[in-house]
Amino acid sequence: MRRLLISYDLLSPGQNYDDLIDYLEGYVKHAHPLMSVWLIATSKSVATVRDEITALLDKDDKVIVVDTTGKGASWRPA
């Protein structure tokens, strides 16, 4: 099982992103630690998750999906 970190910039104001939230909350193991950051557990590849999310976004929105299953990372906000 992979642990994926997902972060996005939703650039179109006033848009409805309920489908994106429903998609992310649909994972049995998920967390939403920051405004536009999610962690999910899945057997899917980063490319598959990226493509599934991209289908839910507007064309100017941005998304990054990172596999964090490795040795880990630690960050402090600026």
pLDDT-based confidence at residue 14 (cuts at 50, 70, 90): confident
Answer yes or no: is pLDDT of 78 > 60: no
Please answer whether residues 33 and 39 qualify as being in contact, where contact means their C-beta atoms are separated by less than 8 angstroms.
yes
Nearest residue to 64 (alpha-carbon basis) of 53, 75, 76, 77: 53
Please give the model's pTM, rounded to 2 decimal places.
Answer: 0.86
H helices of 1-78, where?
18-25, 46-54
pLDDT-based confidence at residue 75 (cuts at 50, 70, 90): low
Q: From CA 34, how far away is CA 8, in angstroms rounded?
A: 11
Task: With H, G, I as helix, E, B as strand and everything else as coil, classify residue 30.
Answer: strand
pLDDT for the residue numbered 65:
95
Answer yes or no: is pLDDT of 12 > 80: no
Q: From CA 7, how far away is CA 35, in angstroms rounded?
A: 9
Residue 43 CB-half CA count within 13 A? 0
Domains within the chain, CATH numbers bracketed: 2-67 (3.30.70)
